[in-house]
Amino acid sequence: MGKQSAGILLFRKNKDGLQVMLAHPGGPFWAKKDAGAWSIPKGEFDDGEDILHAAQREFKEETGVELKGNFIPLQAVKQKNGKLVHAFALEGDMDVTTIASNTFTIEWPPHSGTMKEFPEIDRCSWFSVDEAKEKINPAQAALVDELALMMDR
């Protein structure tokens, strides 16, 4: 099996309608990218690992927030790079200005010999369904569509 990730699409409903929380990847490669760069908080997991447990772990690692509740399984999506993304939706709220992401280290600038540390996620934000579909990785837009259809019922 190829690479797989598990993540959580956090959502809330308010006077403006349905909103979803997305994460922007950290590091120099993503610094100036916006449309199509955002993602649900997610990460890779090992074969045999419980997918929901992995999604909860990855959400906490990338935001600093531990989620519990009634998770709604969504259809897995395959990204352009071949990675299969398993996702769960959860209704909830969080202050996106207080995220605390884990970090990674890379040589930056390239071939400089200097190692720098960057957050895996540099920011999170709440978006309407239409805004989210512009911001999110194109393959993951199907997750937002599926959630929006469920909420319309």
pTM strictly above 0.85 = yes
- Span 79-109, pLDDT tens digits: 999 999 999 999 999 999 999 999 999 999 9
As given in the structure block, the two tokens for residue 15 are 């006077």
Q: Give the separation between CA 1 and CA 8, rounded to whole angstroms.
A: 21
**Buried (b) or exposed (e) across 85-109, using 16+ Cβ within 10 A?**
bbbbbbeeebebeebebeeeeeeee
The string of pLDDT tens digits covering residues 113-129 is 999 999 999 999 999 99
Q: pLDDT by residue (tens digit) across 39-84?
A: 999 999 998 999 999 999 999 999 999 999 999 999 999 999 999 9
Entry field: residues in the chain: 153
Which 8-state DSSP code applies to residue 67? -
**Residue 1 — very low, low, confident or very high, per pLDDT cuts 50/70/90?**
low
Structural domains of the chain, ranges and CATH numbers in brackets: 4-152 (3.90.79.10)
